[in-house]
Structure 1
Amino acid sequence: MKRYLDQIVLKDLASKAVVLTGPRQVGKTTLSRQLMGKFNQAQYLNWDVLADRMVLQNQSWSPAADLLVMDEIHKMPNWKTWLKGVIDARPNGQALLVTGSARMDTFRQSGESLAGRYFSFRLHPISVREWCTQEGVSPAIALDHLLERGGFPEPCLAPNAIEADRWRAQYFTDLIREDVLEFSRLHEITTMRLFIELLRERVGSPLSLASIARDLAVSPTTLKHYLEILKALFIVFTIQPWHHNIARSMLQMPKVYFFDTGLVRGDPGIRLENAVAGMLLKQTDFLRDSTGQDAGLHYVRTKDGAEVDFALSDGQQLSHLIECKLSDTKPHTALTRFAAQFPQANAVQLVFNLRQEEFRNGIAITDAAKWLNGLAA
């Protein structure tokens, strides 16, 4: 299927190397192969394939290739230095696309070694906007489908829900057995699996690692390390409470969500909140990656417990306050309070089952599917 990043990645390949990351099986390889069809001589090399690994190590790929796709090279020792040399030595006119299923934070935190040599993009699961474009369906039908199947291409496109469930069971097993094991020790896998199972039941709530650590009989420091692994592998993401002082915000409890809504255990309201969180993160990452906009995703919470599900920021200003509801059309009390406190922000209450849109107390009571379809990605 056509993905939302294909044209912009193709455009950027003409000028710089492109790094494309995202969860396992989110569609990076499919997107790469579709882009290969736009070139006369393209070559795909995967570090996980032994024959391809030898070609990468020897740098013996075809010099005539006008597009090189290198997958999972972050698993190579000293890959950053190696890639710098490849980028600098490539022939004029040769495009380079680097993909990976782990977050390449070192690209952003590595000083000057790769500065100015690449553009980076994060590929996310399918959103309401993408599914409407792909299938020509209404936003309501698209949101229903994504809440049932999740946004990963294979279960989304599966012929029935049974096939989607079979895919998810195998996907979860592979994440633990293969990807997580690369970042942790074998004896930690059981604890890591239990940690993920507990996170599946805590979606949307402020996350107390100390409390979970007591349940699992491990230290909070250990769980913090595990959480960073899960984030690096695009299994979960966290959002921090909004605060002008970023350091203070980071000290407060985050909320955790899954990239695959199908992994969430909870009532329909929690699944809706997770799906909205994923699409909002997709929106902010897209704006950052494609335009350089300082977009951010947060939530708002006070010491007295008043909370709004999500807040979007542009630089140091809040642009949106967003609350999710299944059917409740009465303006959320905390949303009303924060809408008055942050008058520059658009206050929106997204309602899944909505008969009539309204504007009350400075809050737009809006159809969730319709609003999500209006996002940029």
Structure 2
Amino acid sequence: MSQRLRFYDSLLAWHLKEYRQMAFVSGPRQVGKTTVCEGTADVCWNWDNTDDRRLMLSGPSVMADKMGIGQLREKPPVVAFDELHKYSKWKTLLKGFFDTYGKKIKVVVTGSSRLDVFRRGGDSLMGRYLLYRMHPWSVAECLHTDMPANPVRLPKNVTDADWDALWAHGGFPEPFLKRDARFTRRWNTLRQEQLSREDLREVSQLQDLGTVEVLVQLLAERSSQQLVYANLASEIGVSVNTIKRWVDLLGRLHYGFLVRPWFKNINKALRKEPKWFLRDWSGIEDVGARAETFAACHLLKAVEGWTDMGLGRFELYYLRDKMKREVDFLVTRDRKPWFLAEVKHSETTISPALGYFQRETKAAHAFQVVLDMPYVNADCFKESAPVVVPARTLFSQLL
């Protein structure tokens, strides 16, 4: 498996140059956090390594001595703390270290949860860190690894090899770069087992892990579908509030994510039921659900990345009303509708709902995004009326 430079290498280097705050890098297991941080940091200490753990528990002064803080340097050394959130007092440890040595050292912290799962002691790190949410490979990252000046780039054609690998193997680095069907299937199985056997035990006090595993299996089959909590509760035999807590926990562990309905200025819009999406589309059998999940992951990466870089406040929603008109996605920019995206695998007849909801929301753009359509060298964002666009073109312009 060959290594390739990632966008997050540039992002982290930019942060360390521009800001004094610690960089928190959050994302799913095996998304590449440790690889990127090791490439940037002078030293990386992993909580799962017993020698590193003993060093970190020795206190700030011992860690500073290990880093050679007293030595003359051209620039401050960079230390990365990996999986530190597994320590119950991780915030206190970081606060003491950063407050004492923050002017002489740069700090990166990574975690496979959202780094807010553990809330003991309150938010004592306020003002001391900036968060960056790391995602798997995307079409745009296959084409660009530099920092964008604006949210939207000019279109560029991704290679057939990268496009096919993304669709078949997903965007997680190992299966995406290895491109072996047997490995991808085994990798997917092991990753789901790791979620059930390790991650849930580490971050929760759940007593009924067997029932949660049933929920995980159900959600694996329902990517891109609306979640009706009452129906899930009835299927599993637990309360609605329990289902909500468990779904929230699975989101915090990056197993999947929710997209909520947009209802401002929409007559008879749905307000409650979110849609559920897996973080990895490679194991989804249904072509339509796979295409929508593929698009959802690309759009989520874009809105979270743009927000983390300070380019604005971007969020992802979907649209549906009681007349059953629906558009798969709405991206907002600074709380105002920006563009709509209806995802199809091969259908090129424009959905009537696109025009209807564009008029209702006053969004600047409305795209029917077709996965099975060749690249077109034209800027999607120069179009204002509803238009059919290739996924290869639109996603190349994002992040």
TM-score when scaled to structure 1? 0.90
How big is the shift at 1:356? 9.1
CA RMSD of aligned residues (A): 2.7
Q: 1:349 aligns with which of 346, 364, 368?
A: 368
Does the 8 A contact of 2:88 with 2:120 survive in 1?
no
Q: 2:110 aligns with which of 99, 110, 116?
A: 99
Instruction: Describe how 1:296-375 pairs up with structure 2 within 5 A.
Output: 296-354=315-373, 362-375=385-398
Alignment pair present for 1:147 and 2:150: no
SS in 2 for 1:173: helix
Counterpart-to-counterpart distance in 2, 1:156 and 1:335: 33
Does the 8 A contact of 2:318 with 2:328 survive in 1?
yes
Q: 1:188 aligns with which of 205, 208, 212?
A: 208
Counterpart-to-counterpart distance in 2, 1:81 and 1:251: 39
Cα gap change, 1:255/1:89 in structure 2, threshold over 3 Å: closer, same or farther? same
Alignment pair present for 1:220 and 2:220: no
Does the 8 A contact of 2:342 with 2:369 survive in 1?
yes
**Corresponding position of 1:252:** 272
**Corresponding position of 2:38:** 33
SS in 1 for 2:208: helix
Q: Amino acid of the residue matched to residue 147 of structure 1? A: W
Structure number with higher helix proportion: 1
Q: Amino acid of the residue matched to residue 189 of structure 1? A: L
**Corresponding position of 1:162:** 182
**Corresponding position of 1:51:** 51
Cα gap change, 1:159/1:243 in structure 2, threshold over 3 Å: closer, same or farther? closer
SS in 1 for 2:249: helix
Residue by residue, what CA displacement relative to the aligned partner does 1:22-78 show, whole Å, maximum 9, x if unpaired? 000000000011113xxxxx2211111111111111122214161111011111122
Cα gap change, 1:326/1:223 in structure 2, threshold over 3 Å: closer, same or farther? same
Q: Amino acid of the residue matched to residue 318 of structure 2? A: Y
Q: 2:305 aligns with which of 265, 282, 286?
A: 286
Counterpart-to-counterpart distance in 1, 2:354 and 2:295: 17
Residue by residue, what CA displacement relative to the aligned partner does 1:293-329 show, whole Å, maximum 9, x if unpaired? 1100000111222110000001221001000011111
Structure 2, unaligned runs of 5 or more:
70-76, 146-155
**Corresponding position of 2:132:** 121
Counterpart-to-counterpart distance in 2, 1:332 and 1:249: 18
How big is the shift at 1:118? 1.4
SS in 2 for 1:105: coil
Structure 1, unaligned runs of 5 or more:
37-41
How big is the shift at 1:194? 1.1
Cα gap change, 1:193/1:237 in structure 2, threshold over 3 Å: closer, same or farther? same
Cα gap change, 1:85/1:253 in structure 2, threshold over 3 Å: closer, same or farther? same
**Corresponding position of 1:23:** 28
Counterpart-to-counterpart distance in 2, 1:336 and 1:110: 49
Alignment pair present for 1:4 and 2:10: no
Does the 8 A contact of 2:262 with 2:271 survive in 1?
no
Counterpart-to-counterpart distance in 1, 2:160 and 2:236: 40
Cα gap change, 1:352/1:202 in structure 2, threshold over 3 Å: closer, same or farther? same
Cα gap change, 1:283/1:139 in structure 2, threshold over 3 Å: closer, same or farther? farther
Q: Amino acid of the residue matched to residue 319 of structure 1? A: W
After superposing the two structures, state which structure 1 stretch, 18-27 or 345-354, moved more: 345-354
**Corresponding position of 1:13:** 16
Work out the percentage of aligned pairs sharing the same amino acid. 32
Does the 8 A contact of 1:43 with 1:67 survive in 2?
yes
Alignment pair present for 1:206 and 2:226: yes
Q: Amino acid of the residue matched to residue 5 of structure 1? A: Y
**Corresponding position of 2:74:** none
Cα gap change, 1:106/1:354 in structure 2, threshold over 3 Å: closer, same or farther? closer
Instruction: Describe how 1:42-81 pairs up with structure 2 within 5 A.
Output: 42-59=42-59, 60-61=62-63, 62-64=66-68, 66-81=77-92
Counterpart-to-counterpart distance in 2, 1:237 and 1:141: 28
Counterpart-to-counterpart distance in 1, 2:87 and 2:120: 18
TM-score when scaled to structure 2? 0.85
How big is the shift at 1:184? 3.7
How big is the shift at 1:361? 9.9
Q: Amino acid of the residue matched to residue 56 of structure 1? A: M
Residue by residue, what CA displacement relative to the aligned partner does 1:111-149 show, whole Å, maximum 9, x if unpaired? 763232112101100001122458x97355433321210
Q: Amino acid of the residue matched to residue 320 of structure 2? A: R
How big is the shift at 1:343? 3.2
**Corresponding position of 1:39:** none
Cα gap change, 1:184/1:78 in structure 2, threshold over 3 Å: closer, same or farther? closer
How big is the shift at 1:150? 0.8
SS in 1 for 2:323: coil
Counterpart-to-counterpart distance in 2, 1:250 and 1:78: 42
Counterpart-to-counterpart distance in 2, 1:50 and 1:226: 31
Counterpart-to-counterpart distance in 1, 2:57 and 2:270: 40
